[in-house]
Amino acid sequence: MAATNFALSPPAKTVDGLLAVPVDIQSIAAVFTFDGAVSAASADATITYTVGPTAGNPIFDLRQSITQAWIDGTAFPIAQMAHHSFGTDTYTDLRVVQSIQAAGSVHTLRVQYALAAPDSQMGGSYLPAIEWSAGPKLRFVFGLSDLNRARYAEAWLPVNLIFDQYSIDLEISIINTAAAHSVITNGTATVLGVNHWSIVFPDHFTALSPLLEVRASDTLVSQNGSVVLPVSGKNVVIEAWKPVLSGVDLAAQINNVKNLLTQNENDYGAYMHDGRFTVFFNGTGGMEYEGGTTVSTGALAHETFHSWFARCVKPAGQADGWWDEGFTTFHDSGADDAVALDFTDPPVLLCSRDPWQRNTPSNSYSDGGNLWMGLASLLGVANLNTFMKQFYDTYKNDPVSTQMIEEFLLCRSGNARVVDTFHRFVYGFADPSLAPDLWIKDDPTDPGADAWAGAFWDSPDLWIRNSDDGGLTHQSPEYGQDNWFHARVHNKAGRGNASHFVVTFHARGWAGTEFVYPDDFLPCTAARGEFNLAPGETQIVKAKWPRAAVPHAGTHTCMLASVIARSDAPVAHRHVWEHNNLAQKNLTVVDLRPDMFIIVPVVIRNSYPEFGKKFDLEMWKPQSATEIHVSILHRSKEFFSQARVEVREFRLPKESGYPPDQLRLDCGGMMPGIQAASPRDIMTTDRPDLILRRFAKSWEVQMARGTKPKLACEIPPFSQIVIGVKVVVGPRMKPGETVKLHVVQRNCATKQVTGGIAVQVNVI
């Protein structure tokens, strides 16, 4: 099934009084009939599509003259699906269907038209063509182009912009001719009869993917070869073609293709194009397709590499077309040049903010290549190539935006200067004359200053949702599925506009008190780049937390966030309470019955020697929470030596039951029973097996009653200690009650709160 990529689509836009909305095409079925008797051709095409999240008038493109149309089987006036201008350049218009359709609704659109030279920008060395010669013989060329507008599959078929993926089932027949013809394609071609084929393109294709040429067989020469690739193990058939008068040595070029495919697999990962590579040596230029190319011999290495970057991992929009050409240029030069970027050079625009752009920027090769050399200098050549190999493995067969590349490199490298680099040399922004001041609230009363003396470990501007539903309240992470990070970012009034910024999200696999930038924040779990946050405004930023990175349900995760912009980034070695670009949410939400308890493992740290080693652990709770009792656990009795309080051995209550029996293995080891082998629960009264795994033979100190009792402890510099925070719900608490309490770490010498966690108990 074709992917749904509305997150990558342009936004709805009002054009000529019509609310034009993107659609998701699932499939295209088309019939092309070429008639040699009259040297003409006709097309009948049907698309099946789903309207996006906004109701309105669907958009698509076709650069042919429609003669008849039907929507959902009912005739529709062709004048009401005319082209309307979306961009400022020529050939940036799109067809808008003047029928308001409901969000999420599914429809079919059928169109008939005569096939002729498309109304597209006719530049480049190899043009689309539909020509007849004596015989009669047909020469039909899709002739796709990156650098010229409206030159993807919209030249011949009703398709979407290149964010969308769908299958294409194309039937081709040539009638009224005795001349045999052949098809050159990266689709799966099945012969249905004489000069009659079915060609199927897979559902991960976009409008930039299909290669198709139809020519008289006696004008072509073909030869096949094959190679078993080293990473995927695939046996790839190489189908090579050339015009009959061409001097290209197909056997030699097939060997070149074998070597290139092998090298590219070794460098970046598995070849993804159904065990075939189609190459047509047309004698001029070069154009990439998925698992294929039309090419001159000199461009073969460049175009073959594009079957990894450009036509496997694909640009999501034509404003994103710079990155694959720039990276391929970097690869053409050996992928080993590291040339530092000079930030006194003028800004370079590679990726515009125009979602309706219809061509790849012409400076993608030069400035784009320089950008990748600059990233190699910043991150290291070997590191950059490793990151791009990981990037390919993550997004193979998918469209990718420029923001996604920036986010990926920032997440993996942990180098905040990636943001500076993209700001100036990709998005083309100059340094702001007045810097923005971006910030995230530490608590509801935080005014946005760098230093904050109040609670900071449960930011109201950070939350997690279990689905991408737009919710504004925090949910505990749900294991086994994607979750979504959210941050509410502010820009102070009276400061500069944030033309571009990135929010990083990191989920520590444990709850802790003290976190320091950048070591605890970068590399990060996810990031999201955004644009144009004006002074005095607020923007909610979200990023997907992939399910593979979501820890199991027994984990008490701390969420950390940072905001990074050119001229406004966090300062190294600062805590959350020392910089307004940093925030954390150290909140555990748990449902407990009366007389139940939870144990939350917490890491308490001392990162700096100037703090000394003496700390107080404070417990803050509302005055009304008299039935909530808190104690601290540790495996060593010595941990409590500074507290001068009663220390008792921690024991599970008898009603908790016993852990499951252990299983003896043939190798002589022991493993827990079936229940304990899958720790999908937090440590509560109901899971003694999990408690004993973490806190067997531990010691316990009951925190004094009151709203802010404290417990003295020592944490040596540059050390961390794991404690258990045990929260007990008293028997008189009533279902429906909710209590939030905080366990806080305070330095005794400075009186500074250096961290804390929050626990929200919902009584069930």
Q: What is the mean pLDDT of the chain?
A: 94
How far is it, in rounded angstroms, from Cα 198 to Cα 168?
10
Q: HSE, CB side, 13 Å, CA atoms: give it for residue 578.
A: 15
How many other β-carbons are positioned within 10 Å of the β-carbon of residue 198? 16
Question: 673 pLDDT exceeds 80?
Answer: no
Beta strands in 333-407 (DSSP E): 399-400
Question: What value does the mean pLDDT take over residues 489-499?
Answer: 97
CA angle 263, 300, 239 (to 5 degrees): 85
Cβ proximity of 678 and 633 under 8 Å? no
Question: 471 pLDDT exceeds 50?
Answer: yes
pLDDT of residue 667: 62
Confidence grade of residue 93 (pLDDT, cut at 50, 70, 90): very high
| Residue appearing with tokens 């013989």 | 137
Cβ proximity of 763 and 594 under 8 Å? yes
Question: 658 pLDDT exceeds 60?
Answer: no
453 burial (CB, 10 Å; 0-12 / 13-18 / 19+) is exposed
Question: 668 pLDDT exceeds 80?
Answer: no
Q: HSE, CB side, 13 Å, CA atoms: give it for residue 320.
A: 24
DSSP 53: S
730 closest CA partner among 597, 539, 555: 597
Confidence grade of residue 609 (pLDDT, cut at 50, 70, 90): confident
pLDDT of residue 36: 98
Question: What value does the mean pLDDT take over residues 261-270?
Answer: 98
pLDDT of residue 557: 81
pLDDT of residue 641: 92
136 closest CA partner among 31, 219, 221: 219
pLDDT of residue 664: 54
Question: 679 pLDDT exceeds 50?
Answer: no
256 burial (CB, 10 Å; 0-12 / 13-18 / 19+) is middle
Confidence grade of residue 677 (pLDDT, cut at 50, 70, 90): very low
Question: What value does the mean pLDDT take over residues 578-582?
Answer: 97
